[in-house]
Amino acid sequence: MSKRDQIITGIRQFADWLEANPEIDAPIDPHFLVPLSTNSAVTEFAAEHGLTTTADAEGNLSATLVFAGVRYQAYGYVDFEAHRQAREEKNARTWADKHGLQITPRAN
């Protein structure tokens, strides 16, 4: 079974379980995030589904489909590689700080 099929099965099982247990509260923010990596992929997704895109302060795009309160949000980046590198550096610095270490540039 593909990852996609597993997710679809899981969503159906969750919906059935939630319906069978009316005493259980529904999630307050059912939100599925789908990374498309690039803004052009988000633009293409939006065009295919009649959606508009929204840009954040850095120019990264997203487009959202809404199904009765459940949101399926595709998002991308102006420069995915730069975003990935910045995230890795932030994670490394956070780890180093937590362990009493400091990251400094290597002397050439």
Position 68 in a domain:
yes
The predicted model scores a pTM of 0.69
Position 69 in a domain:
yes
Tens of pLDDT, residue by residue, the chain (108 residues): 899 999 999 999 999 999 999 999 988 888 999 999 899 999 999 999 999 999 999 899 999 999 988 999 999 998 878 778 888 989 999 999 999 999 888 887
What gap in Å lies between CA 20 and CA 1, rounded to an integer?
A: 26
Position 108 in a domain:
no
Position 54 in a domain:
yes
How many structural domains does the chain have? 1
Range of the structural domain that residue 91 is part of:
28-98
What gap in Å lies between CA 45 and CA 36, rounded to an integer?
A: 9
Position 81 in a domain:
yes
Place of tokens 């954040």: 56
Position 39 in a domain:
yes
**Cross-sheet strand order for the sheet of 31-38:** 31-38, 70-77, 61-67, 54-55
pLDDT at residue 85, rounded to an integer: 85
